């Protein structure tokens, strides 16, 4: 595989892992003493930020490697891929990806600038953001990857959902009761 393609794919997968790690660490922090909670929160925020930066790198690399910096070519090809995989002709798929990048940047900035406010936000705001991340990564990890890689994407997505579920129950994600 050419180096450019390896970098395009690698940054996408590392971005997914950064997001999954941040969600797992956030779930772990909920049941810890204050000192440990703060350390886990910092690690979660760092993983989240790294994931966002890697996704920005992925977008830039994809534009350079695959499309020669042509936004129009990238938009056409994204629509073609969407149609080939889903049967739906969605001409604004690249715009959805760009809005997602902006959302991730805003989330990271909010978390760094006002962590207490970020972590204390309402569920009415938290869950749509989580859903956005889940949908975007599910599409990236299941729909637009070769079949053998889908298992890796599924594992990361399942880990996030388990972390969310256990955190909602007030249990750390790494401890199974039953």
Q: What angle do CA 106, 111, 112 make, to 5 degrees?
A: 100
What DSSP designation does 68 have? T
The residue count of the chain comes to: 178
What DSSP designation does 69 have? T
Alpha-carbon radius of gyration of the chain: 17
Asked if 96 contacts 79 with a C-beta cutoff of 8 angstroms, the reply is no
pLDDT at 174: 58
pLDDT at 11: 96
C-alpha to C-alpha distance for 72 and 177, rounded to whole angstroms: 51
pLDDT tops 60 at residue 177: no
C-alpha to C-alpha distance for 28 and 36, rounded to whole angstroms: 10
Over the stretch 110-155, which tens digit does the pLDDT of each residue have?
Answer: 999 999 999 899 989 999 999 999 999 988 887 778 888 888 888 9
The whole-model pTM stands at 0.89
């Amino acid at each position: 595989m050419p180096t450019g393609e390896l970098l395009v794919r690698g940054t996408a997968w590392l971005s997914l892992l950064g997001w999954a790690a941040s969600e797992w660490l956030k779930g772990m922090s909920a049941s810890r003493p204050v000192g440990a909670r703060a350390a886990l929160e910092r690690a979660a925020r760092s993983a989240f930020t790294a994931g966002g930066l890697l996704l920005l790198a992925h977008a830039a690399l994809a534009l350079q490697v695959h499309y020669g910096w042509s936004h129009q070519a990238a938009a056409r090809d994204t629509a073609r891929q969407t149609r080939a995989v889903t049967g739906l002709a969605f001409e604004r798929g690249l715009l959805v990806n760009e809005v997602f990048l902006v959302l991730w940047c805003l989330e990271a900035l909010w978390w760094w600038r006002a962590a207490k406010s970020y972590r204390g936000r309402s569920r009415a705001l938290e869950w749509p953001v989580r859903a956005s991340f889940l949908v975007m990564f599910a599409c990236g990890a299941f729909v637009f990857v070769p079949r053998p890689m889908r298992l890796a994407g599924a594992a990361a997505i399942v880990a996030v959902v388990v972390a969310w579920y256990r955190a909602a129950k007030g249990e750390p994600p790494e401890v199974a009761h039953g």
